[in-house]
């Protein structure tokens, strides 16, 4: 059984005060493994909040290097990091933010041939991708391995988030059947910040069992009008990605 140290009890005191969280919730986080796909705008922010919350093991996968144009939003990467692999910068910063969290990084492109191995053993998958083909790949793996998948996406001052529980909720393909054409998207740095913090909250709620998840609910953030809206989503009985699991 995972035990909390005296240092843990001090560090996480304020969140253990949350109703339903307690020391048991903290122990659940400490023994959890979270897979973060991408160390960009969404991944760098969600990973910070998962690290400070005390998730025991974070695995971050990204194949990219840091460019100047990333720095308006990818808050883990700084001016001095330009040219470094994003995963190296991520590991260095997260380990300093919370040395008690095990941070594993892999610099690779996620493909059909490696993604099943990469997510093996994870309790949750966090979507920090910037394209739908890779999101669909993660969605399929999440569905097949029955691993919850916390989706986030952004554009300009807009964002979306939902939590997919395979077998129980609509999957990503049920909600977004078609991949939009690839685009060089505009983005204000605060937008992935908003969505990634929501994703981190969902992960922590799922792992600790507190609150009500964004299950079968698509949250829509409109930063321009500063409003949130949610719409109900349903499983598609003919979904090419999850209809088999629905029937099983």
Partner 1 sequence: MIKIKVTTFSGDEKYIEVPEGSDYESLLIDLGINPETVIVYRDQQVVPLDECVEPGEIKILRVVSGG
* Interface ranges with partner 1 (CB under 8 A): 38, 40-43, 127-132, 135, 152-155, 158-160, 175-183, 185, 187, 192, 218, 220, 225, 230-234, 236
Nearer to partner 1, 29 or 125 (CB): 125
Residue 220 near residue 191, CB atoms below 8 Å? no
Least distance between partner 1 and beta carbon 119 (Å): 17
Smallest gap, in angstroms, from Cβ of residue 126 to partner 1? Answer: 10
Record the tokens describing residue 23, joined without a space.
């020391």
Which whole-number Å values give the CA distances from 208 to 53, 184, 227, 232, in the listed order? 11, 37, 28, 24
Return the number of the residue (109 or 179) whose C-beta is nearest partner 1: 179
CB of 203 to partner 1, least distance (A): 16
Cβ proximity to partner 1: between 232 and 248 the closer is 232
| Closer by beta carbon to partner 1, 210 or else 228 | 228
C-beta of 186: minimal distance to partner 1 in Å? 8
Is residue 163 within 8 A of residue 139, CB to CB? The reply is: no
To partner 1, the closest distance from the beta carbon of 156 in angstroms equals 8
Question: Please, which residue, 153 or 208, has the CB nearer to partner 1?
Answer: 153
Q: Decide if 94 contacts 87 (C-beta within 8 A).
A: no
Q: State the minimum distance, in angstroms, from the CB of residue 123 to partner 1.
A: 21
Q: Which is nearer to partner 1, 78 or 185 (CB)?
A: 185
If the CB atoms of residues 153 and 201 are measured against partner 1, the closer one turns out to be 153
- Three-state SS across the chain? CCCCCHHHHHHCHHHHCCCCCHHHHHHHHHCCEEEEECCCHHHHHHHHHHHHHCCCEEEEEECCECCHHHCCCCCCCCHHHCCCEHHHHHHHHHHHHCCCCEEEEEECCCCCCCHHHHHCCCCEEEECCCCHHHHHHHHHHHHHHCCCEEEEEEEECEEEEEEECCCCCCCHHHHCCCCCCCCCCCECCHHHHHHHHHHHHHHHHHHHCCCCCCECEEEEEECCCCEEEEEECCCCCCCCCCHHHHHC
Tell me the closest approach of the beta carbon of residue 97 to partner 1, in angstroms.
21
């Amino acid at each position: 059984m995972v035990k909390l140290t005296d240092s843990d009890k001090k560090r996480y005191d304020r969140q253990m005060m949350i109703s339903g969280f307690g020391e048991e919730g903290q122990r659940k986080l400490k023994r959890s493994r979270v897979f973060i796909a991408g160390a960009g705008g969404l991944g760098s922010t969600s990973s910070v909040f998962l690290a400070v919350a005390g998730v025991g093991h974070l695995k971050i996968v990204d194949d990219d290097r840091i460019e100047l144009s990333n720095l308006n939003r990818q808050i883990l990467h700084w001016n001095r990091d330009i040219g470094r692999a994003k995963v190296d910068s991520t590991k260095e910063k997260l380990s300093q933010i919370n040395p008690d969290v095990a941070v594993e990084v892999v610099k690779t492109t996620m493909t059909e041939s490696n993604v099943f191995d990469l997510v093996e053993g994870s309790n949750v998958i966090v979507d920090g991708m910037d394209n739908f083909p890779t999101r669909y790949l993660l969605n399929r793996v999440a569905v097949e391995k029955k691993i919850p998948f916390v989706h986030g996406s952004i554009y300009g001052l807009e964002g979306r988030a939902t939590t997919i529980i395979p077998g129980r909720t609509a999957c990503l393909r049920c909600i977004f059947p078609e991949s939009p054409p690839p685009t060089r998207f505009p983005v204000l740095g605060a937008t992935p910040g908003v969505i990634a913090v929501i994703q981190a909250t969902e992960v922590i709620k799922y792992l600790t069992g507190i609150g009500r998840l964004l299950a079968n609910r698509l949250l829509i953030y409109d930063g321009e009008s500063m409003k949130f809206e949610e719409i109900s989503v349903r499983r598609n009985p003919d979904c090419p990605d999850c209809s088999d699991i629905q029937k099983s």
